[in-house]
Amino acid sequence: MPARSGTIDRSIVSQFMALSTPNVSDALDRLQINGAPQGILPLYACSKIVGPAATLKLVPVSAAKESAVLGTLEAVKLGDPGAVLVIDCSENPKVNCYGGIAGSTTKHYGFVGCVADGVVRDIDEYKGYGLPVYGKGIVQQSIRGQGGEHIVTILGLDQRQGLQHDQECLGWMVGEFERSADVGQGARPRIPTNSAAR
């Protein structure tokens, strides 16, 4: 198993925490980076999160290398503190893809939150330990019967991308961390310079 790298650039995280999601969206548009998935919302009143993605794709049991629970815990162990767990459950969007055990482990390993392209459960547990969780909805049943592995595309965006969420705007931005300086520069608020805007 690869060691945790600890390579999250805190200055990039701080820069993006200060930016609004609409400004980041505009910067991504100018740079022609696809980065605005739809339909993923906060599942309780939680804080803004920014960080690189630690990714997980849940697949049918017949295609899985191990159980969904073990696969999720392994994906968390491979991530770095300060990361956002990103789960693709698009192959079966009605099956729970994130529960209390995974949430507790995510928090224990220092992740800043979870984003799920699917439904989750155990919301009261996340609230209790202050872990922001976003997804497409809430479900009660267990994940039993759903497999997991460690690669992901979420809403068509690949695993090299980082995430920003601004709850005020209820919007997600996904951008390539390799271009984060460009996105951050382009997302700073602009002061109108033409005379009509004065």
Q: Residue 4 is encoded by which pair of tokens?
A: 């945790």
pLDDT-derived band at 195, boundaries 50, 70, 90: very low
pLDDT digits (tens, 9 = 90+) for 4-48: 455 667 888 888 888 887 888 888 888 888 777 778 889 999 888
Q: Would you say residue 154 lies in a domain?
A: yes
Q: Would you say residue 196 lies in a domain?
A: no
Nearest to 152 by CA among 51, 84, 81: 84
pLDDT digits (tens, 9 = 90+) for 62-93: 666 777 777 788 888 888 899 899 888 887 77
* Average pLDDT in the chain: 74
Q: Would you say residue 194 lies in a domain?
A: no
86 and 49 Cβ atoms separated by less than 8 Å: no
Q: Which H or E element spans position 134?
A: strand 133-135
Q: Would you say residue 7 lies in a domain?
A: no
Domain range for 159 is: 39-180
pTM for this one? 0.73
Phi then psi for residue 148, to 5 deg, are -150, 150
- CATH code (residue 85): 3.50.30.40
Q: Would you say residue 16 lies in a domain?
A: no
pLDDT-derived band at 157, boundaries 50, 70, 90: very low
In this predicted structure, what is the pLDDT of residue 15? 86
The average pLDDT across 45-67 equals 79
Q: Would you say residue 143 lies in a domain?
A: yes
What does the H/E/C string look like for 100-157? HHHHHHHHHCCCCEEEEECEECCHHHHHHCCCCEEECEECCCCCCCEEEECCCEECCE
Instruction: State how far the Cα of 21 lies from the Cα of 124, in Å rounded to an integer.
Output: 26
In this predicted structure, what is the pLDDT of residue 187? 67
The average pLDDT across 142-146 equals 61
In the chain, the number of structural domains is 1
